[in-house]
Amino acid sequence: MKPIQVGLLGAGTVGSGTFKVLLRNQEEIKRRAGRGIEITMVADLDTARAREVAGEGVKVVADAREVIANPDIDIVIELIGGYGIAKQLVLEAIAAGKHVVTANKALLAVHGTEIFAAAHAKGVMVAFEAAVAGGIPIIKALREGLTANSIQWLAGIINGTTNFILSEMRDKGLDFATVLKEAQRLGYAEADPTFDIEGVDAGHKVTLMSAIAFGIPVQFDKAHIEGITKLAAQDIKYAEQLGYRIKLLGITKRTAQGIELRVHPSLVPSKRLLANVEGAMNAVVVHGDAVGTTLYYGKGAGSEPTASAVIADLVDITRLHTADAAHRVPHLAFHPDAMSDLKVLPMAEVVTSYYLRLRVADQAGVLAKVTGLLATAGISIDAVLQREADEVGGEGSTQTDLIILTHDAREGTVNDVLAELQALPTVLQPIVRIRKEELS
């Protein structure tokens, strides 16, 4: 059978890896897919770069629409990124009856409902393994491997840039800004790292995983997102003293009230495997009712790791593209007419535990007042750590840090009591609040 023909939009790092791996492993890939897979056309505004990436025998064009218009192309790989032209091209490729493979988490997390509906109507596949956690086959695991389960929750380190920064902050005791500069110098962080450090990239990825885990529409606009820019080195140190590490987690959870969907720094017990995922690596823990807790670990970015996911999608499409559309794996794991309308909970309704740090006047009655307000709000304390004033503020200091770990509490209740605590004259600086996940 003649090879399936693929058109590539965007000849950057991942495109280059896709060419290399397809060529290097072409025999094995063909034996798995049942026929050869060939990228026969590449579009990139930088045609010289595209020519270099593609090598001989591949048609290179500047206009992506030439690829979409080519009737010989069966699958279009979109590696342009962003919500702009990429959205237009993906919709045009679908309208032209092409299957689409994309690594574009931003596009699918924000416009997924429209894109999947268009693909469903046209009977084509939109595959996106590379959009979440790079080379880790987490979409495959959630959509197929764990299909017997009622998934209860998942939590992941799904942004390598921020995990690298947090690892460095902990290892070297450095502050966020210093480590960010170093990460940019080493090429771990983009020149504009906003999406990574503000948690947006992780938000896109957890939104996609949540949709597949629970069969709900993609709803990035409902996700609660906080990044790591406000994290202080001293909180990483205190967390360590209490037996925790701070990680930027993407979390989604099924509760009786609805779905939690959130990204924020979290204390994780140091003994958990997830707490020991260091540097730019990614990992996702998924808890299903039948299987229990499972862990997926690997490289979340990079040329060949991401190409590994792109090619897995190419193989899936090659195997399935002649199958009746109704017999393929649904885009979001659940059939479109069987999606759930479980609501995504506002953050105030989320129940979790907390790390609180209060800079207080070191005088009689302060601790009693603080714990009294927490008790009145029904918030139970799990642990308290108080540093000696001299250690915190230097010789003769009259201030100290009071660190409190709470048991589970409703976020709205915690917000109210934090406002009361902040108003106390003996609380001298803005209170630090970091959520805590036991992941048990």
Q: Phi and psi for 360 in degrees, rounded to 5?
A: -125, 160
Q: How far is the CB of 306 from ligand HSE (least distance, A)?
A: 8
The CA distance from 96 to 1, in Å, is 23
The CA distance from 318 to 4, in Å, is 7
Binding to ligand HSE in span 104-123, by CB under 6 A: none
Q: Is 12 a known ligand-binding residue?
A: yes
Q: Residue 40 or 161: which CB sits closer to ligand HSE? A: 161
Stretch that binds ligand HSE, among 12-20, 159-167, 231-239, 391-399 (CB under 6 A): 159-167
Q: Could you say which of 7, 15, 17, 160 contacts ligand HSE (CB under 6 A)?
A: 160
C-beta of residue 339 within 8 angstroms of C-beta of residue 217 = yes
Q: Is 11 a known ligand-binding residue?
A: yes
Q: Interface with ligand HSE includes 161 (CB under 6 A)?
A: yes
Q: Is 13 a known ligand-binding residue?
A: yes
Stretch that binds ligand HSE, among 116-124, 156-164, 238-246, 330-338 (CB under 6 A): 156-164
The CA distance from 295 to 46, in Å, is 40
Q: Interface with ligand HSE includes 217 (CB under 6 A)?
A: no
Stretch that binds ligand HSE, among 153-161, 369-377, 413-421, 428-436 (CB under 6 A): 153-161
Q: Is 190 a known ligand-binding residue?
A: yes
What torsion, rounded to 10 degrees, do the Cα atoms 327, 331, 335, 337 define? -130
Residue type, position 236, single letter: I
C-beta of residue 229 within 8 angstroms of C-beta of residue 176 = yes
Q: Residue 37 or 133: which CB sits closer to ligand HSE? A: 133
Q: How far is CA 132 from CA 46, 206, 352, in A?
A: 27, 8, 25
Of 98, 205, 247, 436, which residue is the catalytic one?
205
Q: How far is the CB of 248 from ligand HSE (least distance, A)?
A: 10
Residue 99's H or E segment, with its range, is: strand 99-102
Which residues share a beta bridge with 381? 406
C-beta of residue 175 within 8 angstroms of C-beta of residue 231 = no
Q: How far is the CB of 301 from ligand HSE (least distance, A)?
A: 4
Q: Residue 250 or 288: which CB sits closer to ligand HSE? A: 250
Q: Interface with ligand HSE includes 301 (CB under 6 A)?
A: yes
The CA distance from 384 to 378, in Å, is 17
Q: How far is the CB of 277 from ligand HSE (least distance, A)?
A: 12
Q: Residue 258 or 300: which CB sits closer to ligand HSE? A: 300
Total interface residues for ligand HSE by CB under 6 A: 7
The CA distance from 295 to 179, in Å, is 28
Does the active-site annotation cover 205? yes
C-beta of residue 263 within 8 angstroms of C-beta of residue 223 = yes
Q: Interface with ligand HSE includes 135 (CB under 6 A)?
A: no
Q: Tell me which residue of 156, 153, 152, 185 sits closest to 168, measured CA to CA.
A: 185
Q: Residue 159 or 210: which CB sits closer to ligand HSE? A: 159
Could you give the residue ranges of the DSSP H alpha helices within 12-104?
13-24, 26-33, 47-54, 64-69, 85-95
Q: Is 15 a known ligand-binding residue?
A: yes
C-beta of residue 236 within 8 angstroms of C-beta of residue 268 = no
Q: Interface with ligand HSE includes 159 (CB under 6 A)?
A: yes
What torsion, rounded to 10 degrees, do the Cα atoms 75, 80, 83, 86 define? -40
Beta strands in 290-343 (DSSP E): 292-299
Q: How far is the CB of 191 from ligand HSE (least distance, A)?
A: 12
Q: Residue 210 or 352: which CB sits closer to ligand HSE? A: 210
Q: Residue 137 or 300: which CB sits closer to ligand HSE? A: 300
Q: How far is the CB of 106 from ligand HSE (least distance, A)?
A: 9
Q: Interface with ligand HSE includes 201 (CB under 6 A)?
A: yes
Stretch that binds ligand HSE, among 27-35, 68-76, 157-165, 223-231 (CB under 6 A): 157-165
Q: Could you say which of 112, 227, 265, 300 contacts ligand HSE (CB under 6 A)?
A: 300
Q: Tell me which residue of 71, 120, 139 sits closest to 309, measured CA to CA.
A: 139
Q: How far is the CB of 255 from ligand HSE (least distance, A)?
A: 28
The set of catalytic residues is 205
Residues that bind ligand HSE (CB under 6 A): 159-161, 196, 201, 300-301
Q: Which residue ranges make up the annotated binding site?
A: 9-16, 105, 190
Mark the binding-site residues for L-homoserine, compressed into ranges. Answer: 190
